[in-house]
Amino acid sequence: MASLQRLALDWGKAAVSRWPYASPKLPLVSGGLRSYLCGDTPLRHTPAASKLEQNDVTEPLHRLWRGLKIGALFALLVFPLSALAQDALQERQIGAHKHPAEAASSTQADQHAKPGDGAAAAPSEQAKPGEGDVAADPLPPPSITQHSISLDGTDLAYSAKAGMLPLRDAHNKALASIFYVAYVREPQDKKRPITFVFNGGPGAASAYLHLGAIGPKTVEVTANGELLGPPPRLAVNDSSWLDFTDLVFVDPVGTGYSRASEGKDESDFWGVEHDTDSLADFIRLYLIDAARMTSPVFLAGESYGGFRAATITRALQKTGGISPNGLVLISPALEFALLNGEDYDPLPWALSLPSYAAVNLESHGVTGREALSEALQEAERYALSDYLVALASGATKGSAEASETVAKLTGLPADIVRRNFARIPPSTFIKEFDRANGQVLSRYDGSVSGPDPNPASSWPHGPDPVLDSTVPLWTSAFVQYAQDELGYKTDATYRLLNRDVRSKWDFGTSPTRQGYAGVLDDIQDARATNRTLEVLIAAGYTDLITPYLAPAYLVNQLSPLEGASPITIEDYAGGHMLYLRPDSRRALKKDVEAMYERALKSSPQG
């Protein structure tokens, strides 16, 4: 296109320059074409000629007119708007000494940051070359605020930064902007651990772990872990991890405030590989911009967030120049074959049985971590021995052998157990367990129930008592917290739970690559690569989404790695979001802090 433009420019210019009365002071087109080129020698008016004949003027004028018409037509066909666009660009370049986002960022930082607060070490969202391709975004510039908290009797000062970090391709074109909230203890210490936190879904923002378990503030709940409200209320989180690690809460593209750039489709990021690549890139960029590449790095994730923590760890080890020190996997989805198992595979039925037993035990007053652990030993033994053998023997024979015991352990009526051949799907359990009282259980915590809006149905239809009823509470709590305490105010929608993400997620299967996604191999490879890598898996007894017995079963299938740190599995009272129970949140923090200490002692940096 540039060569065609130059050709048209030379053609028209040559015609003008050869007209005896042409004047370079009278431009014919916009400034985009006003670059007078050298190379042609124009015919000049001869002073010795005292008088010009009419034909001497008319013929050159005709030639000029024909040349101008052809040149103008050619120019319009090749670049009808380029000249105007170039003029506009030149005006912007002359007038824009500083990118608006940069100026706004500086202003916002000045309002919230104080000298010496370490803000300069956090990622910069200032304008960079090529950033003009990002569409105008309603989101505000980064906000940095100063806070303090008392944890275990110690006052701790920290800074909080809420903002966006852009992701770019190899050609510096904007792909997406990732929203994050980072908490850094002051004064900053680059040897201090830094933990990147993700929720799951896929399609969930990080507000669950942010305001439910790990951050400096938490939503108020009952002793059983049920959120209070509406409206929701926040309180100081005495179980925050901020006293032993800096924290970065990350929202993947399509969740929270994170968005794909103009011209990009968010669904391009919705898959195992693309999600892993984008979030590994985020971690790398954050550490570089914050000058934390030598800090001990940990990853924490819940549900599918645990899955992505494992895949991100391998991606960082292979391509990011970073080897994490530890992983905290909370209620993780490790192998989807056990969560979405086939009807003829007896293993998923067996692994779910102790979780049903835990719900039944709590309904009879057996509560607390220690009490449940002791009371569930028989259910765990039976599930992976006699029950599994009975299921494998066939539907009829297995039902005859196992139905009575299954009914006793789960609290379900015996006729319902026999009708299902001693194989109890989660949907049947949550529907039938308390049908007599018109209640339906939550799959996210079987100890929590709500009124059944469709009691005549054989299947649970309607909102989940834990997940669906609390989405408005979590959302409004985070938006208000971000505005009031983090100084991040925007009219943009905060997508706590984007259900489109899960429905469009690419788990990596294809007609030639069938099966289920899983990360046991990633975890094993990561441990082989870094034998000091610590892995802590936390599970909730009454979680009916990811049964607590599944991680123990899977880890036991791994071959030993000589010299590698063993994987630690801890079970707690509670469901999928076990941290909502205050006692379990405190116990989780204690176990995680002990794991961090082991990781730091065993690593070269420690």
- Label residue 343 by pLDDT band (50, 70, 90): confident
Q: Assign residue 577 the CATH number of its domain.
A: 3.40.50.1820
Calculate the alpha carbon distances from 206 to 200, 212, 468, 549 in Å. Answer: 8, 10, 16, 25
Given this model, what pLDDT does residue 604 score? Answer: 58
Single out the residue of 259, 287, 87 nearest to residue 175, CA to CA.
259
Same domain assignment for residues 313 and 181: yes
**Residues in CB range of 214: below 8 A, 6 or more apart:** 195, 197, 237, 240, 241, 247, 249, 300
In a domain, residue 298? The reply is yes
Q: Which residue has the higher pLDDT, 411 or 74?
A: 411
Same domain assignment for residues 130 and 231: yes
Domain that holds residue 11: 2-93
Q: What is the 3-state secondary structure (H, E, C) of 367-423?
A: CCHHHHHHHCHHHHHHHCCHHHHHHHCCHHHHHHHHHHHHHHHHCCCHHHHHHCCCC
pLDDT tens string 92-115: 333 333 333 333 333 343 334 433
- 550: pLDDT strictly greater than 90: yes
Q: Which of 125-129, 191-195, 223-227, 345-349 is predicted least confidently?
A: 125-129
Average pLDDT over residues 442-452: 95
Given this model, what pLDDT does residue 28 score? Answer: 35
- 506: pLDDT strictly greater than 60: yes
- Label residue 603 by pLDDT band (50, 70, 90): confident
In a domain, residue 109? The reply is no
In a domain, residue 100? The reply is no
Average pLDDT over residues 199-209: 95
Alpha-carbon distance of 284 to 277, in angstroms, equals 11
- Label residue 458 by pLDDT band (50, 70, 90): confident
pLDDT tens string 246-295: 999 999 999 999 999 988 989 999 999 999 999 999 999 999 999 999 99
In a domain, residue 477? The reply is no
Alpha-carbon distance of 358 to 376, in angstroms, equals 7
Same domain assignment for residues 321 and 418: no
Quote the number of domains for the chain. 3
Given this model, what pLDDT does residue 223 score? Answer: 87
Single out the residue of 331, 305, 245, 308 nearest to residue 523, CA to CA.
308
Max mean pLDDT range (22-26, 59-63, 135-139, 486-490): 486-490
In a domain, residue 345? The reply is yes
In a domain, residue 270? The reply is yes
Per-chain mean pLDDT for the chain: 82
Given this model, what pLDDT does residue 509 score? Answer: 73
Given this model, what pLDDT does residue 214 score? Answer: 98
Same domain assignment for residues 127 and 217: yes
Given this model, what pLDDT does residue 459 score? Answer: 83
Same domain assignment for residues 268 and 155: yes
- 416: pLDDT strictly greater than 60: yes
- 529: pLDDT strictly greater than 60: yes
Same domain assignment for residues 593 and 524: yes
Alpha-carbon distance of 416 to 127, in angstroms, equals 64
- 471: pLDDT strictly greater than 50: yes
Same domain assignment for residues 296 and 243: yes
Given this model, what pLDDT does residue 110 score? Answer: 39
Task: Give the three-state DSSP class for 141.
Answer: coil
- 144: pLDDT strictly greater than 70: yes
- Out of 424, 448, 467, a domain closes at 467
Residue type (1 letter), 249: F
Same domain assignment for residues 526 and 573: yes
- Out of 467, 486, 506, a domain closes at 467
Same domain assignment for residues 131 and 189: yes
Does the predicted model carry a pTM greater than 0.85? no
Same domain assignment for residues 141 and 290: yes
Burial 195-223 (b: 16+ CB within 10 A, else e): bbbbbbbbbbbbbbbbbbbbbbbbbebee
Cis geometry, peptide bond prior to residue 187 (ω within 30 degrees of 0): yes
- 18: pLDDT strictly greater than 80: no
pLDDT tens string 429-438: 999 999 999 9
**Among residues of the chain, what percentage have pLDDT more than 70?**
76
Q: Which residue has the higher pLDDT, 556 or 508?
A: 556
pLDDT tens string 295-330: 999 999 999 999 999 999 999 999 878 999 999 999
Given this model, what pLDDT does residue 329 score? Answer: 98
- 512: pLDDT strictly greater than 70: no
Same domain assignment for residues 397 and 453: yes
In a domain, residue 201? The reply is yes
Same domain assignment for residues 187 and 318: yes
- 80: pLDDT strictly greater than 70: no
Given this model, what pLDDT does residue 59 score? Answer: 54
- Label residue 49 by pLDDT band (50, 70, 90): very low
455 φ/ψ angles, rounded to the nearest 5 degrees: -65, -25
**Among residues of the chain, what percentage have pLDDT more than 90?**
68
Alpha-carbon distance of 89 to 96, in angstroms, equals 10
- Identify any residues that bridge with 159 across adjacent strands, giving them in sequence order: 146, 184
Alpha-carbon distance of 140 to 56, in angstroms, equals 67
pLDDT tens string 20-42: 434 443 333 333 333 333 334 34
- Out of 448, 467, 486, a domain closes at 467
In a domain, residue 483? The reply is no
- 84: pLDDT strictly greater than 60: no
Q: Which residue has the higher pLDDT, 263 or 163?
A: 163
Given this model, what pLDDT does residue 134 score? Answer: 42
Residue 109 is classified by DSSP as H
